[in-house]
């Protein structure tokens, strides 16, 4: 886990490897103005499924478990998000409640951007919009792949009882 708090996205060594963070310098300066960076302990719930959207969260380091709840109250882990991932993006852009619950699995540094600040940022920095489209496309393709994997799991074949033929005399 990366342990140093980076106050500016401009000086982050990991920026080139992260889709949303790899923006032109002017965009990053503006982004630095609208974000807040916080260190959270393990097991912190960043947001909960069904709750009103507040904004997006970006994992600077650490991991988060993304899960949903069934009608019976059973939790299902969808996937584990890692450093550089943007959480709550679909809900923030559509202004709908969060679709999943995001719980930190590690002590983590997380950036938060309020929804209204994100939308203004995207209007003013169009190159960031393309990054968002790429990220949403990757999320969609990942979801397709998970559904394909689940749907294609071989079911157990029913046992066929071996019945020896009657011996003919």
Provide the mean pLDDT of the chain.
Answer: 83
* Averaged pLDDT for residues 102-116: 96
Task: Identify whether the C-beta of residue 57 lies closer than 8 Å to the C-beta of residue 88.
Answer: yes
| pLDDT given at position 23 | 78
E-assigned strand segments in the chain:
35-40, 45-47, 55-59, 64-69, 75-81, 86-87, 101-104, 108-114
- Helix 115-124, helix 25-34: angle, nearest 10: 160
User: Does 21 score more than 80 pLDDT?
Assistant: no
Q: Could you tell me which residues are beta bridge partners of residue 81?
A: 64
Percent of all residues in the chain with a pLDDT value above 90, rounded to a whole number:
49
CATH, domain 15-146, list 3.20.20.70, 2.60.40.10, 3.20.20.20, 2.60.120.10: 2.60.120.10
Dihedral pair phi/psi, residue 63, rounded to 5°:
-135, 155
Distance CA 54, CA 129 (A): 19
| pLDDT given at position 6 | 55
User: Does 150 score more than 90 pLDDT?
Assistant: no
What is this structure's pTM?
Answer: 0.78
* Confidence category of residue 1, pLDDT binned at 50, 70, 90: very low
User: Does 14 score more than 60 pLDDT?
Assistant: yes
């Amino acid at each position: 886990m990366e342990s140093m708090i980076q106050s500016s996205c401009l000086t982050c060594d990991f920026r080139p490897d992260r889709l949303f963070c790899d923006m032109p310098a002017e965009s990053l300066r503006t982004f630095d103005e609208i974000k807040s960076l916080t260190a959270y302990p393990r097991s912190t719930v960043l947001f909960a499924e069904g709750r009103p959207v507040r904004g997006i969260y970006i994992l600077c380091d650490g991991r988060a478990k993304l899960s949903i709840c069934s009608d019976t109250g059973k939790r299902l882990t969808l996937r584990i998000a890692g450093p550089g991932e943007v959480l709550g993006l679909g809900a923030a852009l559509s202004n709908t409640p969060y679709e999943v619950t995001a719980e930190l699995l590690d002590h983590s540094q997380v950036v938060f951007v309020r929804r209204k600040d994100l939308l203004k940022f995207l209007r003013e920095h169009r190159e960031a919009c393309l990054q968002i489209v790429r990220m949403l496309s990757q999320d969609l393709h990942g979801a397709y792949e998970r559904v394909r994997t689940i749907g294609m799991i071989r079911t157990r074949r029913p046992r066929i009882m071996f019945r020896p033929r009657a011996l003919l005399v």
